[in-house]
Amino acid sequence: MLEIRNLHATVEGREILNGLDLSIGPGEVHAIMGPNGSGKSTLANVIAGREGYIVTEGEVLFDGKNLLEMEPETRACEGLFLAFQYPVEIPGVANLYFLKSAVNAVRKYRGESLVDAMDFWDLVHERMELVKMDESMLKRSVNEGFSGGEKKRNEVFQMAVLQPRFAVLDETDSGLDIDALRVVADGVNALRSPERGFLVITHYQRLLDYIVPDYVHVLVNGRIVRSGDKGLALELEQQGYALYNEEPGRARRATA
Amino acid sequence: MNAAPVAQNPFRQQFKAFVASRREPDTITRRRREGFDRFIALGWPTHHQEAWRFTDLSALAQIDLQRPTNVPIDANVLPTLNAPAHRLSFVNGCFAPALSQLRGLPNQAIIASLGQALLTHPDWIEPYLEQLPGLSQHPFAALNAAFWEDGAFLHLPRAAVVEAPIHLIFYSIGDHIGVYPRLLLVLDEGAQATVVVEYRGEGRYLNAPVAELQLGAGAVLNYHQIQEESPQAFHLGGIRIHQQRDSQMNSHLVSFGGQLARVDLEALLDGEHIHSMLNGLSVVDHTQVSDHHLWVDHADPYGSSEQLFKSVLNGKARTVFDGMIHVRQHAQKTEARQLNRNLLLSRQAQANSNPRLEILADDVKCGHGSSTGLLDPDALFYLRARGIPVEQARALLVQAFAQDSLNRISLTPLRERLANSLAHYLALGCIEEQ
Ligand SMILES: Nc1ncnc2c1ncn2[C@@H]1O[C@H](COP(=O)(O)OP(=O)(O)OP(=O)(O)O)[C@@H](O)[C@H]1O
Ligand SMILES: [Mg+2]
């Protein structure tokens, strides 16, 4: 459902992604691991359409449609979701109001009527329980004053309410205690279905015990240098990225 | 530059004729003369004067301002509060009884036309009019002292509480006229009132109102001033405030209209345990200017004051915030806070911010801050990444920024009405209440 071919992208004139290929089918969970600064969030931002991330070559197709031509909101309405590595605080916009606006924007895009207030409330309550989020957070401004863990939980909560077809989770596990990690994993697992795809960016093998991936990829210097199954995550945990970090020729051999 | 406007000399002729036409106590005439002499002495402000550096009056100086004439207006053009209220309307500075309505008042409380009261009961007015310090350097307050004809008079005796809001509407209509309305609000010890002053109009006029607000010991005044003058109008208003011990002033200055709107406010906190809250919101577009000059003077200990001013600027608009908190040596344990935040929706817009503290006491808690910036691109992207269209996302963020000011208004019908106007002035279309 997500097809990335030879993707090159620059940020502030610097090439961060250089020739990235990745293909994710419906129902699949892919994990991406890689050292700091290797371009994982850049990939997530390019997929979501953030300003300032300029694609210089290659393509990204979402169900055959050219994703790169779409506005960020169109991508979201087409069923794409990004759980941010650093969720943004938005003072003055209540969480619940924000979420309802988002749900209605997606429904409008699909030609559906505005969400029924009762249905919305039921859905919100059900999903809040899933991620064990406190009701008081709904009335508060989006992420304002939330702890690091609460922000991540709020991302998963939004995902659970919006029910996207494809979700990118950018280090949603970072900064979470063990219980919160479980909650986040449960949130993702509850959405797992034969039609949905996931791209899970993480530094920790631990998360992949809970969200078991079909594939694991190693991203170094803006390219995928190796792919494997979940065993690869264990291997990385033991060996680190040293093997991949040297000159590009060496990395290419590692892929082979 | 514009030091010699067409305006000055005609004022002399006008003043002579005006004073000759009045029948009023000598004390009042004397105060008019003093006002006029002060105007002549101060002269027309130029941008060389620090206080007028960012307020360009050259367009106003080109106008040969005349005395207004009587124009009948339709009641429909006047704003309403959607709640039971005492209502006084003024057209071109003169009381319009047909557009006014007074309800039952506590014993001995007076709400009246200042002009009428001056004829029938000058003894009500004389002790209070022009008695407050402040605005001595303000030429337009001086001009008002010379030319005012009418306005609103409120006097609440000791412990009188007026529940319903007092709605004072000043409508100006016409081109090339100068209107000088006056407000005199006197709250004796322990009295309480909620006042909503609205400035509106049509045409290219100058509205230079002066408000004098006197709060006796323990009095509470919720004061709202909503400026929605016509797009060609000039609004140059002055507010003098005198507060005695334990009194509370909550004021909200909302500025949406006019081509140039400026308010100079001076408050003397003259007693212990006084609270003064000045909340402000300006929304400007095109080449509009909205300017606030505030001076809060803590004269005694244990006072607290806040100045919270926000503005949203689009087009080539400009705002000026010049706020002073002055704490006298004797005013220990003062707590004062000053914050100016400006949101630029266009790169051509400009916000001048000058938050000032002058603290002579050594045991106080005072803080100030100022920020000016564009919409947060990260917040905008966050909303869009959830499917919210870019225009709606912008609207949501701007509304959230400005609504924060309106949320401090506890008078619900007014707050709700202003939230709607806000959406209109921000040209955002309709936005649901959160
Ligand atoms: N908005 C930006 N402005 C400037 N540089 C950027 C920006 N975004 C990313 N970069 C740079 O691009 C490179 C890749 O960053 P990216 O955030 O994609 O790394 P990452 O793999 O997600 O790292 P981490 O594991 O630390 O989250 C880094 O060198 C980073 O400094
Ligand atoms: Mg990252």
Do the bridges between strand A65-66 and strand A53-62 make them parallel or antiparallel, or are there none, so unpaired?
antiparallel
- Please give the distance of CA A110 from its chain centroid, rounded to a whole number: 22
Alpha carbons B350 and B343: distance in angstroms, whole number: 10
The dihedrals phi and psi of B122, each to the nearest 5 degrees, come to: -55, -25
User: Out of B377, B385, B392, whose CB is closest to A82?
Assistant: B385
User: Partners of B101 in the beta sheet?
Assistant: B87
Binary contact (B396, A84; C-beta < 8 A): no
Q: Is B104 exposed, middle or buried (0-12, 13-18, 19+ CB in 10 A)?
A: exposed
User: What pLDDT does A177 receive?
Assistant: 87
Q: How many domains does chain B have?
A: 1
Q: Who among A50, A102, A109 is closest to B386 (CB)?
A: A102
CA A103 to chain centre: 18
| Mean pLDDT of the residues in chain A | 91
Does B296 map to a domain?
no
Does A252 score more than 60 pLDDT?
Answer: no
pLDDT class for B251, splitting at 50, 70, 90? very high
pLDDT tens digits for A79-120? Answer: 999 999 999 999 999 999 999 999 999 999 999 999 999 999
Q: Name which of B238, B242, B295, B243 is nearest B272 in CA terms.
A: B243
Decide if B315 is inside a domain: no
ipTM of predicted complex: 0.94
Asked if residue A47 has its Cβ within 6 Å of ligand 1, the reply is no
C-beta A36 within 6 A of ligand 1: yes
Of A101, A106, A74, nearest in space to B399 by CA: A101
Cβ burial of B105 (10 Å; 0-12, 13-18, 19+) is middle
Indicate the average pLDDT of chain B. 93
Shortest distance between the Cα of A66 and any Cα of chain B, in A, equals 17
**What pLDDT does residue A132 have?**
87
Q: Is the pLDDT of residue A205 over 80?
A: yes
CA dihedral A160, A161, A166, A170 (to 10 degrees): -60
| A45 close to ligand 1 (CB < 6 Angstrom) | no
pLDDT digits (tens, 9 = 90+) for A233-250: 888 888 888 777 654 444
Quick: pLDDT tens for B45-64: 988 888 998 899 999 998 88
Atom of ligand 1 nearest to the CA of A171: 27
> pLDDT for A146-158, tens place per residue?
998 899 999 999 9
Write the residue with the smallest CA distance to atom 22 of ligand 1. Answer: A41
B312-328 pLDDT, tens digit per residue, is 999 999 999 999 999 99
Task: Indicate if the pLDDT at residue B416 is higher than 70.
Answer: yes
Lookup result for tokens 């100030």? B368
CA-wise closest residue to B227 among B266, B273, B281, B163:
B281
CA distance B405 to chain A (A): 11
Judged by phi (left if over 0) then psi (alpha if -120 to 50, else beta), residue B130 lies in left
CB contact under 8 A, A88 and B384: no
Helix (H, G, I), strand (E, B) or coil at A230: coil
- Asked whether B280 and B253 are in contact (CB, 8 A), the reply is yes
> Does residue B327 form part of some domain?
no
For the question of whether the overall pTM of this predicted structure is more than 0.95, the answer is: no
Contacts with A46 from chain B: Cβ below 8 Å: none
Query: For position B95, what pLDDT does the model report?
Result: 96
| A68 Cα: distance to centroid of ligand 1 (angstroms) | 20
The nearest CA of chain A is from the CA of B431 a distance in Å of 11
| Best mutation target, B375, B384, B422, to test chain A (most A CBs within 10 A) | B384
Q: Can you give the pLDDT at residue A253? A: 41
* pLDDT for residue B2: 45
Nearest CA in chain B to A52: B377
Cβ neighbours, 10 Å, residue B45? 20
> Would you state the pLDDT for residue A1?
93
**Residue B430 forms part of a structural domain:** no
Specify if B318 maps to a domain. no
pLDDT of residue A178: 87
Q: Does B393 touch chain A (CB under 8 A)?
A: yes
Average pLDDT over residues B167-185: 97
The shortest C-alpha distance from A28 to chain B (Å) reads 22
Dist CA A145 CA B186 (whole Å): 43
* B376 interfacial to chain A (CB closer than 8 Å): yes
In a domain, B424, yes or no: no
CB-CB neighbors (< 8 A) of A90 in chain B? 379, 382-383, 397, 400
Task: Verify whether the Cβ–Cβ distance A105 to B392 is below 8 Å.
Answer: yes
CA of B345 to the centre of ligand 1 (A): 28
Contact B382 A49 (CB under 8 A): no
Interval A67-85 mean pLDDT: 97
Ligand 1 atom index nearest CA of A42: 18
pLDDT digits (tens, 9 = 90+) for A212-225: 999 999 999 999 99
| pLDDT at residue A112, as a whole number | 96
Residue B259 domain boundaries: 8-270
Angle between helices A148-162 and A95-109 (to 10 degrees): 30
User: Can you give the pLDDT at residue B428?
Assistant: 56
| Higher-pLDDT residue of B411, A178 | B411
Residue contact B382–A158, C-beta within 8 A: no
Task: Write down the pLDDT at residue B280.
Answer: 98
Summarize pLDDT for B419-429 with one digit per residue, the tens.
999 888 876 54
Q: Does residue B412 form part of some domain?
A: no
Q: How far is the CA of A40 from the centre of ligand 1 (A)?
A: 8
Inside any domain, residue B46: yes
In this prediction, residues B181-194 reach a mean pLDDT of: 98
Structure confidence at residue B429 (pLDDT) = 44
For B146-161, write each residue's pLDDT tens digit.
999 999 999 999 999 9
Q: How far apart are CA B423 and CA B123, in angstroms?
A: 46
| Chain-chain contact of A88 with B404 (C-beta, under 8 angstroms) | no
